[in-house]
Structure 1
Amino acid sequence: MKRIFALFILLSAVFLTACGEDEGNAGSSGEKDTINFGATAGPYSDMVTQAIAPLLEEKGYEVTNKEFTDYVQPNKALANGDLDANLFQHKIYLDSFAEENNLELSEVIIVPTAPMGIYSNKYEDIDSVEKGSTMGVPNDPTNLARALIVLEDEGLVKINEDVDPLRASLADIEDNPKSLDFVEVEAGQLPRLVDSEDLAAVPGNYALAAKMDLLDALALEDMPDDYRNRVVVNTEDIDAPYVKDIKEVIESDEFEEIIDEEFQGFGKPKWMEEE
């Protein structure tokens, strides 16, 4: 009986030790060694798999990446613990979503982001644009305001100076020297308007999804950082070692080299330009 009891104690100790080592994907130091990323399908999922994950793997992490086809589930999956970090959203969306859904989410770092561009199969440059040209623009307020900022930067319109540029609408145009005729459509349809209209303002993610080359744009957006995508984590994890490592690899020269080679035309955030 004593031998049986001793054997039971020994097996229990082995079992508890094994469970302790496996808990939470942690090593002997208790730190996370697997990072579960989430990103929308397309360029930002590619950025995770081609630029972020390889550099994190060099640090000893195992990195997974789950692709999403909508802009709701990545934050919900992060909040419920299915993800450790996500990459798909700009600050305005993050702040709004977190407030509406009572979530505690925090930005880690801003990444290079595909800018909106003015595209045309009719004109070779902005100076060639003729009076009365048709111009496709997004019909949602956020992307429309971005389009108007690009057009103003290129001298094609002037927005009322009393209006917040990030909230400008067609009604806020006070000067339209080329008499552009605006055609408002859902942002995802804008690549098609490059063929049917004289010009179109196409957000970068939709341009890439339509296999368009960002460098073919007549003009690219000088994007405010609030509109650039960022890596996001749960606020309670913001000081975790794995989060600091994510930030470190994105700030590395190796990351920027991959961006320059594989993500040409992506606009870099201010922190990267100031280096």
Structure 2
Amino acid sequence: MTTPTTGHQHGFTLRKSTHTLPWTIAGIATILAIVLGILLIQQRSQPALAAEAGTKTEFKVHFEPAMAGEEKILEFVAETIAPDYGITIEPVGLQDPIQANQAVASGQFDATIFEHEWYMRQSAEAAGVELTPTVELYQWGFGLYSTRYTSVDELPQGSTLLLPNDVANQGQALWLLDREGLLGLDPSIEPRTAKIANVIENPRGFDLKEADLLAMPRMLDDVDVAIGYVSQFDAGKVSRDKGILFPEPPRTFASRLIFGSDFAQSADAQKLIEAFSDPRLQEYLKTTEDPLVQGVLTPVSED
């Protein structure tokens, strides 16, 4: 019996391809590998991006315990300003300036507010560390005290003037006397680095002596005038009415927010800089009635 034909005969048989499935799996595997690679790159980059953005929210900021007003400033910033910047500030006191700067340089403390740039340079060199000054914060009341006279005009010929014995603050004292016309400094030297040896004009024949800043209050009765910080005379129980001249200090002697140089350019440091640059700090210094701050730590001067 002959089987009837149902279509054209082409001389070959149709079969399902055996290559389609393996190539499909290979394609999927390739795509998955690419996706996983992208995810891995993103995961690896996240810590770097986080570090770039800054990860700290809690900061330890150093102050000098002998300067009670500095702690008050840190408390004000911590309570009033820092929360608006999403950070917290813990004031930490350490008296020794060498140890304090070493702690800042190593990152044990995040920053310090206890020194101006010129004292920082002197102290950092002594500590063998690298520090970077940033935003200006406040200025210390600085002037002439006497238990014998009530004005500079009363000072007799040959009066004994007691100056700080450290280079940075001696320069500030001599520059003050030069600006007030009481002494003349060698014009070839930078006045903020002046030493007693750089005095070239002394028309009233002042006897210039040196002492540690902290010793000045107890030495005041033994000299005609002592020149130093209001805060230290306050701490030594010397009445402010013994101050006979308080000129506005140059801006160059303003306190700075200071970091270890390894951290100064970080995003975390920028958080602190922004908080301490907030105008509410300068307004606080202008208006506070806190006796530990008023007249002791003043707003940053214009010049």
Kept after mapping to 1: 8 A contact 2:119/2:168: no
Distance verdict in 2 for CA 1:197–1:95, change over 3 Å: closer
The TM-score normalised by the length of structure 2 is 0.69
Shift in CA distance, 79/163, structure 1 to aligned 2, threshold 3 Å: closer
Tell whether 2:147 aligns with 1:121.
yes
Partner of 1:111: 137
Q: Aligned equivalents of 1:244 and 1:215: distance in 2?
A: 41
Q: Residue 227 of structure 1 aligns with which residue?
A: 253
1:202 aligns with 2:232: no
3-state SS, counterpart of residue 88 of structure 1: coil
Bigger Rg over Cα: 2
Structure 1 residues without counterparts, runs of 5 or longer: 1-25
* Cα-to-partner distance string for 1:231-263 (whole Å, 9 max, x where unaligned): 122334334444333223333232112212143
Give the % identical residues: 24
Provide the rounded CA distance (Å) in 1 between the counterparts of 2:173 and 2:248: 11
Residue 222 (structure 1) shift: 4.1
Question: 1:11-55 deviations in whole A, cap 9, x for unaligned?
Answer: xxxxxxxxxxxxxxx9xx973221121221123233212335531
Shift, 1:68, TM fit: 0.2
Secondary structure of the corresponding residue to residue 75 of structure 1: helix
5+ residue gaps, structure 2: 1-49
* 1:249 maps to 2:275: yes
Q: 1:236 to 1:179 in 2, by over 3 A?
A: closer
> 2:117 is matched with which residue: 70, 78, 91?
91
3-state DSSP class of the match of 1:218?
A: strand
The one-letter code sitting in structure 1 at the alignment partner of 2:110 is D
Contact map agreement 2:133 2:259 (CA 8 A) in 1: yes
Deviation of 1:70 (Å): 0.6
1:66 alignment partner, SS class: strand
Tell me whether 1:39 sits opposite 2:70 in the alignment.
Answer: no
Specify whether residues 222 and 121 from structure 1 end up closer, same or farther in structure 2 by C-alpha distance, changes over 3 A only: same
- For this pair of structures, how many residues does the alignment match? 245
Distance 1:155 1:52, change over 3 A: farther
Matched residue of 1:264: which SS?
A: coil
Distance 1:126 1:40, change over 3 A: same
Note if contact 2:81-2:278 (Cα within 8 Å) is conserved in structure 1: no
Q: Which amino acid aligns with 1:160?
A: D
**Cα shift readout 1:151-208 (whole Å, capped 9, x = no counterpart):** 1222221223233323333333232222222332222211223322221112344234
In the other structure, the counterpart of 1:269 is 300
- The answer to whether the 8 Å contact 2:117/2:253 transfers is yes
CA distance in 1 between partners of 2:258 and 2:54 (Å):
22
1:17-36 equivalences under 5 Å are: 31-36=55-60
SS at match of 1:72: helix
Considering only aligned residues, what root-mean-square deviation do their CA atoms show, in Å? 2.9
- How much has 1:56 moved relative to structure 2? 0.6
Q: Show the counterpart of 2:97.
A: 71
* 1:179 equivalent in structure 2: 205
> Does the Cα contact within 8 Å between 1:113 and 1:268 map onto a contact in 2?
yes
